[in-house]
Structure 1
Amino acid sequence: MRAAWDARARGAQAEAEWRQRWQAYAAAYPREAAELQRRWAGELPADFADRLHALVEQMHAQAPTVATRKASQMALEALTAAVPELLGGSADLTGSNLTQTAVTPALRVDASGALARDAQGRLGRHINYGVREFGMAAMMNGIALHGGYIPYGGTFLTFSDYSRNAIRMAALMRQRVIHVLTHDSIGLGEDGPTHQPVEHAASLRLIPHLDVWRPADAAETAVAWGAALQRTDGPTALLLSRQALPALPKPDSTLAPQACGLAAVARGGYIIAEPHAAGFKARKKPKAVLLATGSEVALALQAQRLLAEEGIPVRVVSLPSTTVFDRQPLEYRLAVLPRALPRIAVEAGSPDFWWKYGCAAVVGVPGFGESAPAAPLFELFGLTPANIAATVRAVLAGA
């Protein structure tokens, strides 16, 4: 029995033969062999950091008012060209998730089962997974484990429930898998509560080793994609809006210069506006901190201006990735969220997650959504600049 199961000699012979073939290939095609070894090692192209920096700067300078799902596609156009091992896909929602780019034709096979080429002679780099969210997530895990590719796949955030076990396994196995989860809040509108995620962002943030990003504009989206690709020790979920979001300025802070500006976005949380952005003097100290993610950062900035009209100085913090922010040194986190200032969180999702930051109040969505356009829904749930400002006033009055 032992002899029948003992494959050590056969394995050693097969490996020796493979190594001989590899050495012959590397000698004949040294450039291709080096590229293959780079991909197997999980290393990004040598110029990736420079190209990412240029992309982020470009997205910030262009300042487009677009949905972050569209900003994601804009980023992917550059990234799929720069990183040939990116292998995309979508669970029957390509036109909504916007995961396909000009250089990622659909992956197809011919009648013999061999990979087919498109009219330009290109092999496919985008998989149509069908209505199979779990199957997509599980296949991406397998692709990542095989090596040589960086898989990403899209679906609606609410359908991440179907993918959850495979997302959890990617986190457990520390695999570089990227989930593009669009239509990230009640802002998706008339599809109603079956499609409107409420608890999903909070629940994904609870999975160990899963980085979750919910960017507020195009520049933050580009940074999020860069972080996901540069990360080699776990998966990433990108939570992206259906509705268009304005580009947001990222000025300096004289009170905490190390925690502001475009470079600070990669730290997961940063000061996006000090009181002086709303008309106060340069070193005016805030009386409270508004912290928000995604589409609600713009609302927090509008609330800051309303409060400034009443003489109430407020700091606004964008937290595109609480998971990344939580890994920052304590000194940095306290520079962004000082202990002495009351904190008010704003997110179009379950409020419960935000109490971990010692918030005095949370403006969120405590129940399921409703079927209506985005604007009336935000009004219904109090996700408005006026209600956010009123919440800050109430907190300060009770302090």
Structure 2
Amino acid sequence: HGGVIPYGATFMVFADYSRPALRIAALSHVPTIFVFTHDSVGLGEDGPTHQPVEHLAALRAIPNLTVIRPADANETVQAWKVALEKRDGPVVLALTRQKLPIYDREKMADASNLAKGGYVLLATDKVYPDVLLIASGSEVEFAVEAHAKLAEQGIGAHVISMPSWELFMQQPEEYRNSVLPASVKARVVIEAGVPMGWGQFAGPAGQIIGLDRFGASAPYKTIYEHLGFTTDNVVLRALEAIDKSKK
């Protein structure tokens, strides 16, 4: 028998109700797909009762659970492929409610790189980057926009799409170091959730744009701006990270 993969889907905030099933699936190495949508404060008007804040961190804390938070439709296709091929444990697909841009893969790295968990989506034209902008899911948009604004100031940024910590940490050290070179201390992490765990990628000089509070009921763009998820704030924090890395 075979050919049937169990799956379930709901708002990410309700993943708490699924936690025993998630944990047992991970413990038992059962291939299962959990699709959790409305994955951040970006869901908007439903308000803080329905806006996940701590959930990504809580899901990543479960051993043998692969969490994937794609940045656009192309990454989502690749995430589904990874989920279907995963045979030794469950996979969570963390998806947005709000619409996201679809990145031009002729100008940016191929979405198949999602299978590596993290990759340089958009590189600087400079020989070496001055700063790394690391983001997952919907917040990759801010990193891409900040890349252009920093370039106008003569600052070279690599945009790192980091959809899956678990997949990234499974890659050879040489690859991980090529994506996150130790020589680049200035880093900015952007994710609309509690920042727990991101320090391993941000480093001591890094800046993290995350959440330390619950959300609010408002249009998602209003919420993002109120909570500091803007292109201008990413640029500002990038400049701060560069300054800090020189001390």
The TM-score bracket by the shorter chain reads over 0.9
Tell me the distance in 2 between the aligned counterparts of 1:290 and 1:358: 9
Aligned 8 A contact 1:152 1:178 in 2: yes
Aligned 8 A contact 2:189 2:202 in 1: no
Which segments of 5 or more consecutive residues in structure 1 lack a partner in the other structure?
1-35, 40-84, 86-148, 254-259, 277-282
Correspondence 1:210-359 to 2 at 5 A:
210-250=65-105, 260-276=109-125, 283-341=126-184, 342-359=186-203
Tell me the distance in 2 between the aligned counterparts of 1:284 and 1:173: 46
Aligned 8 A contact 1:248 1:298 in 2: no
Q: Please, what TM-score do these two structures have when normalized by structure 2?
A: 0.94
Correspondence 1:147-162 to 2 at 5 A:
149-162=4-17
- How far is 1:229 from its partner? 0.8
Between Structure 1 and Structure 2, the one with more helix by share is 1
Counterpart for residue 31 of structure 1? none
1:361 to 207, 214, 219: 207
Aligned 8 A contact 2:202 2:208 in 1: no
CA deviation map 1:221-264 (0-9, x unaligned)? 011111011010000000000000000134578xxxxxx43332
Which segments of 5 or more consecutive residues in structure 2 lack a partner in the other structure?
none
How many residues end up aligned between the 2 structures? 242
Correspondence 1:371-390 to 2 at 5 A:
371-390=217-236
Counterpart for residue 55 of structure 1? none
One-letter code aligned to 1:224: A
Counterpart for residue 172 of structure 1? 27
One-letter code aligned to 1:284: V
1:391 to 230, 237, 243: 237
Aligned 8 A contact 1:268 1:319 in 2: yes
SS at match of 1:315: strand
Tell me the distance in 1 between the aligned counterparts of 2:115 and 2:51: 28
Correspondence 1:51-130 to 2 at 5 A:
85=3
One-letter code aligned to 1:183: H
- How far is 1:284 from its partner? 3.0
- How far is 1:286 from its partner? 0.7
Q: Which has the higher contact order (CA 8 A, sep 6+)?
A: 2
Aligned 8 A contact 1:216 1:297 in 2: yes
Tell me the distance in 2 between the aligned counterparts of 1:308 and 1:180: 36
SS at match of 1:181: strand
Tell me the distance in 2 between the aligned counterparts of 1:384 and 1:358: 19
Identity of aligned residues (%): 45
- How far is 1:352 from its partner? 2.1
Tell me the distance in 2 between the aligned counterparts of 1:336 and 1:285: 12
Aligned 8 A contact 2:121 2:161 in 1: yes
Aligned 8 A contact 1:190 1:373 in 2: yes
RMSD over equivalenced CA pairs, Å: 1.4
Tell me the distance in 2 between the aligned counterparts of 1:156 and 1:356: 28
Tell me the distance in 2 between the aligned counterparts of 1:235 and 1:325: 16
Counterpart for residue 63 of structure 2? 208
One-letter code aligned to 2:229: L
SS at match of 1:350: coil
Aligned 8 A contact 2:75 2:112 in 1: no
Tell me the distance in 2 between the aligned counterparts of 1:171 and 1:365: 27
SS at match of 2:137: coil
One-letter code aligned to 1:350: V
CA deviation map 1:22-58 (0-9, x unaligned)? xxxxxxxxxxxxxx4xx2xxxxxxxxxxxxxxxxxxx
Aligned 8 A contact 1:251 1:273 in 2: no
Larger radius of gyration: 1
SS at match of 1:238: strand
Q: Please, what TM-score do these two structures have when normalized by structure 1?
A: 0.59
Aligned 8 A contact 2:47 2:216 in 1: yes
SS at match of 2:6: strand
